[in-house]
Structure 1
Amino acid sequence: MGLISEVLLLPFAPVRGSAWVIGQVLHEAERLYYDPATVRAELARLEERLEAGEIDEEEFDRQEDELLDRLEIGLRGGAGTADGTAR
């Protein structure tokens, strides 16, 4: 049955391949988004923007909270897979 199903599903191979590629790109994007080093660098840039007067204290606090949430998720290792474990 395996060979027959593979032959019948062969026209859908490009779709399955595309889905795999999209999944890999999504996984890598999530890994980078939650990477602690990346988040720490963004926190440093955010502080520089506050000191330079580009943003006010309220905007700084809002963005800092978002970045700290990302950092917490990244440090827990909960990003990257559906079951909450890092690959």
Structure 2
Amino acid sequence: MGLLSEVLMLPLAPARGSYWAIRQVVAEAERQYYDPANIRAELAQLERRLEAGEITEEEFDAQEDALLDRMEIGMGRTGSTDNGTA
């Protein structure tokens, strides 16, 4: 029965392969989106924009909160438990 199901599913192989590739791309994008190193770089850039006068304190605070929330979610996703205690 396994061979028969494979033969019947053969026309769907391109769609299944595309679906797999899309899942891999999405997973990598999510990994980079929640990567603490990337978030720290964005926080540094945000601070430079504040110091250069490109954004207001309110905009800085809002964007900083969003980035810190993203970092917290990312740390939870990777199972990191670094809470600053020794």
Q: What SS class does the counterpart of residue 5 from structure 2 fall into?
A: helix
RMSD, matched Cα: 1.2
TM-score normalised according to structure 2 size: 0.87
Residue identity over aligned pairs, in percent, reads 71
Gaps of 5+ in 2: 80-86
Shift, 1:56, TM fit? 0.5
| Separation in 1, partners of 2:18, 2:75 | 31
Partner of 1:3: 3
Instruction: Provide the rounded CA distance (Å) in 1 between the counterparts of 2:65 and 2:35.
Output: 16
Task: Give the match for residue 82 of structure 1.
Answer: none
Instruction: Tell me the secondary structure at the aligned position of residue 8 of structure 1.
Output: helix
Partner of 1:65: 65
Partner of 1:42: 42
Runs (4+) off by over 6 Å:
none
2:30 counterpart of 1:30: yes
Identify the residue that residue 53 of structure 2 maps to in structure 1.
53
**The residue matched to 1:54 in structure 2 has which SS?**
coil
Greater C-alpha radius of gyration: 2
5+ residue gaps, structure 1, are 80-84
Q: 1:27-73 CA deviation, whole Å, 9 max, x = no partner?
A: 00000000000000000100010010000011111111110011111
